[in-house]
Amino acid sequence: MIRNGLEPWHLLILLVVVLVLFGSRKLPDTARALGKSLRILRSESRALRAEHESPEAGGDAGSARGTG
């Protein structure tokens, strides 16, 4: 029954519904908040990745210091 997931007119209807629900005044603020959230998420994931990589290298040195 559903062969072509989303067609261009589906996206147009979705855009109109979003505009009606949120209004044109709220959309820039919402987009700004979404961008800020994505930047925070990206920086946190980088920090977690760096934290995950750093204990592997530092873990050996830390255990050597603890025994010596």
Task: Parse the chain into domains and list their residue ranges.
Answer: 26-58
Residue 56: predicted pLDDT? 58
CB environment 18-27: b (16+ within 10 A), e (fewer): eeeeeeeeee
Confidence of residue 68 (pLDDT cuts 50, 70, 90): very low
The b/e string for 53-66 (b: 16+ C-beta within 10 A; e otherwise) is eeeeeeeeeeeeee
Quote the pLDDT of residue 15.
87
pLDDT score recorded for residue 2: 58
Tens of pLDDT along 1-40? 456 677 888 889 988 888 888 787 888 888 899 999 999 9
